[in-house]
Structure 1
Amino acid sequence: MNSKDMQEKIIENYQRDEQMMILVFAQWCVNNDLDPEELYKRAYPKQASNPSLKQAFDLTVSKEEAGEIGDQTLLGVLSMFGNEDLAFVITEEIEKRKKKNGKK
């Protein structure tokens, strides 16, 4: 495999993994009755709407059909892709949920 082919393969893999991260985020939002676009806009207010997020949201299932996605799992996935701003917004939502449910 030459250098150009290797670079293309790395980019392909990254894009596929990034799409999986977006899908995990979108499904976590569905599972927690949150709007993924609203959270994304809070994290990245200067960015236009994200077509990858819309595509991922179309692939989500109802929370009854979905498996559980743990909060720490989502935060870890976001961290792997450097989405600290989105992780911060997610952490705020987790704290709101804990307060609402009477947990510390």
Structure 2
Amino acid sequence: MESRSSIMDKVISQYQEDENVMIQLFASWCANHQLDASTLYAQAYPQQEKNLLLEKAIEELEQDTIKIDTETLLNVLQLFGNEDLAFVVSEEASKLKKH
């Protein structure tokens, strides 16, 4: 039987992996629409410093960008409680539709 500490470590590790996927999806969506992911992130969270995981995801995008639709991204952001970022993405998506 696993110890409570071991289970907590696994839960934390899984959350961090999932969070990385969310960040990669956000960065990919921005790249798909020629938007600056760092700028949008700063609009959603102006009080935060640079997100190092986001910066890393942006750097990695130059080699491999996946296509992600807006609805999927919004669902993933909301799943992780990133309502502010989901709102900014939704606003940008509305602007894109108008063009």
- TM-score range (shorter-chain normalised) is over 0.9
Retained in 1: the 8 A contact 2:28–2:66? no
* CA deviation after TM superposition for structure 1 residue 15, in Å: 0.2
Runs of 4+ off more than 3 Å: none
Retained in 2: the 8 A contact 1:27–1:61? no
Retained in 2: the 8 A contact 1:21–1:78? yes
Structure 2 residues without counterparts, runs of 5 or longer: none
C-alpha RMSD of matched pairs (Å)? 1.2
- Total equivalences in the alignment: 98
2-side partners of 1:59 and 1:13: how far apart?
A: 21
* CA deviation after TM superposition for structure 1 residue 99, in Å: 1.1
Aligned to 1:84: 83
Query: What TM-score do you get using the length of structure 2 for normalisation?
Result: 0.94
Aligned to 1:25: 26
Aligned to 1:7: 8
* CA deviation after TM superposition for structure 1 residue 68, in Å: 2.1
Q: What is the percent sequence identity of the aligned residues?
A: 45
Give, as a single letter, the amino acid of the residue that structure 2 aligns with 1:80: L
* CA deviation after TM superposition for structure 1 residue 61, in Å: 3.9
Query: Secondary structure of the equivalent of 2:40?
Result: helix
* CA deviation after TM superposition for structure 1 residue 70, in Å: 0.6
* CA deviation after TM superposition for structure 1 residue 24, in Å: 0.4
Aligned to 2:42: 41
Give, as a single letter, the amino acid of the residue that structure 2 aligns with 1:92: E
Query: What TM-score do you get using the length of structure 1 for normalisation?
Result: 0.89
Structure 1 residues without counterparts, runs of 5 or longer: none
Deviation per residue, 1:48-67 (Å, 9 max, x gap): 010010011112146xx644
